[in-house]
Amino acid sequence: MPKFDFDFFVIGAGSGGVRASRIAAGHGARVGIAEEFRVGGTCVIRGCVPKKLLVIGAHFAEDMIDAKRFGWTADNASFDWGVLRDHVLTEVDRLEAAYRTTLTNHRVVLHEGRAVMADRHTIEIDGKAVTADKVLIATGSAPQMINCPGAELAITSNEVFHLNRLPKRIVIAGGGYIANEFAGIFNELGVKVTIVNRSDKLLRGYDRSVVDRLEHISTAKGITFRYNAPFESVKRSQDGELRITFQNGDALETDLLLAAIGRLPASSELGIEALGVKTKERGGIRVDKNNQTAIDNIYAVGDVTDRIQLTPVAIREGHAVADSLFGKEAWVPNHDMVASAVFSHPPIASIGMTESQARIALGDVEVYTSDFRAMKNVMADRNERSLYKLVVDPVSRKVVGAHLIGPDAPEIMQGLAIALTAGLTKEQIDRTVAIHPTMAEELVLMR
C-alpha cells in the first residue's frame, strides 16, 4: 500500500504544471493536479494564445490598406469585433479541451477547485484532502492593479478578451509587454490609444534602439504616449466616461482603462508560508536551481517564482522537475539566452544581452546593425523601417545579443536563437549563405 495518494501533486494546470504532470506520469509516477479556473493557464486561456490571435486579426487592417498597392480592391472591408472575439474564444475552448485530453491520456487525475496545503504532504482541494510525496506549485501570476482611488474601474488582461464592444478611446497604464501589444491591437482596430507610463522607459530590459524604433512607428500610426505620469484617481462621470487625474494635476478622459503594470506571483493563500516555504519581495517563491523550495519535497516553477515570466521558461522548468524527480537523469533548466518577443505592430524579438548590458559586462563590444525597409513596405509605400542589431564579444567573437524589430521578427528570431544558443561566432553566421529576397537575410549580411 503506497504511503501517499499520489507520488506527485501539481497545484495549477497552466503551462508549467501541465508539462510537469504529464512528463512525471510518463515516467510512471501517480500524478494529481488541481486547477481552480480553467485548464491551460494564463497563456492558453487569457494570455499568449488569444492575444496572438487578436494581433493576427488586427493586422489585417494594415494589410487591407497595403493590398491596394498590390492591385487589390478592398474598399468595402468592414470589421466586426464580435466575430473576431468569438472565434478567438472558441479556439481557446478547443485548446482547453486538448489540454484536458492530454491530462486524461496520461492518467493525471484532475481536481477542479482551489488547492491549499495543510501540511507538507497534504493538499486540500475545496475541503477534500489528498496526500502526495512530492508537490509542485505552478500557480502562475495575476495582473497587478493600479493603486489609486477608482482603480476598480480599470480592467486587466483577464477581462480584455471578453469586451462586448470596442471602445472609441482606451488608456493603457504601463509600458511593458501587455501595454504595447494591446496598444497595437486596439490601434489597428481603430480605437484611439494612449499609453500612460509611470517612468520614461518603455519595455525596460529591451535594447533601447529597437524600443525607440517601436515608439517612433507606434507614434506615426497614431498611438499617443504619456510618460512620468503616475495616477492620482479614476472617476466615472454620469455619461459613463472615465476621467483619469494624474499626480501632476493633468487629466484625461477615456472610455476604457486597461491596467498592464505587471503581474504578481500567485503565491498567497496556498498555505505554504506556514510550512516554511520562503517568498521574495513581490511574493515570488524562492527556489534553488533545481526549482526546490525551502521545504525539500515542495517545488515551484514558472511565474510564481518571479524570475522570467515566460511560458516556455515555465514549461522547461516543469519538464526539468518531472525528469529530475521521476526520470532517469536530472537536469537543470538554463535561464541564459532566453529569447523573447513583444507582439506589437511591428513586433520586437530579442535574445541575449542588449548593447548597453554587453558594454557593462564585456567593456568593448562590436555592434552590427541593419536599418532597412521590408520589400512589402517599400511597395506599399509604408514608411516603416526594420532594425536588426547584433552585439558581438570581440574576444570570443560570439554573438552575445540579437535585437530585431520588423515584420515577423519573432519568427526570424527563433531560428537565430538556435545559432546563438549554440554559441556561434559572428564569422560563422557570416559564412551562412543568404536566402534572397528575405528580411532575415540581413542577419547574414551585416558587415
Q: Of 24, 342, 416, 420, which lies in the binding site for ligand NDP, with binding defined by CB under 6 A?
A: 342
From residue 302 to residue 321, the character string flagging contacts with ligand NDP as x (rule: CB under 6 A) and all else as - is -------xx-----------
Is 175 one of the binding residues for ligand NDP (CB under 6 A)?
A: yes
DSSP of 96-153, one letter per residue? HHHHHHHHHHTTPEEEES-EEEEETTEEEETTEEEEEEEEEE---EEEPPP-STTGGG
* Selected binder of ligand NDP within 130, 179, 223, 256 (CB under 6 A): 179
> Does the N-terminal peptide bond of residue 394 adopt cis geometry, omega within 30 degrees of 0?
no
CA angle (334 as vertex; 294, 8 as ends), nearest 5: 45
Residues 6+ apart with CB under 8 A from 9: 31, 32, 33, 34, 123, 130, 132, 134, 135, 136
Catalytic residue, from 87, 106, 216, 436: name it. 436
- The length of the chain is 447
**Is 262 an interacting residue with respect to ligand NDP (CB under 6 A)?**
yes
Q: Is 121 a catalytic residue?
A: no
Name the minimum Å distance from CB 173 to ligand NDP: 6
Q: Using CB under 6 A, which residues numbered 381 to 440 contact ligand NDP? A: none
- Long-range CB pairs of 149-152 (<8 Å, 24+ gap) are 149/233, 149/234, 150/233, 150/234, 150/235, 150/236, 151/231, 151/234, 151/259
CB of 148 to ligand NDP, least distance (A): 9
If the CB atoms of residues 116 and 310 are measured against ligand NDP, the closer one turns out to be: 310
Euclidean distance between CA atoms 386 and 373, whole angstroms? 6
214 binds ligand NDP (CB under 6 A): no
DSSP designation for 285: B
Give the nearest residue (CB) to ligand NDP: 176
What is the smallest separation between the CB atom of 403 and ligand NDP, expressed in angstroms? 15
Nearer to ligand NDP, 32 or 175 (CB): 175
How near is the Cβ of 258 to ligand NDP at its closest, in Å?
A: 10
Q: Which stretch binds ligand NDP (CB under 6 A): 161-169, 191-199, 400-408, 434-442?
A: 191-199
Which residues bind to ligand NDP, rule: CB under 6 A? 174-179, 181, 197-199, 201, 204, 260-263, 309-310, 340-343
**Where in the sequence numbering do the catalytic residues fall?**
436
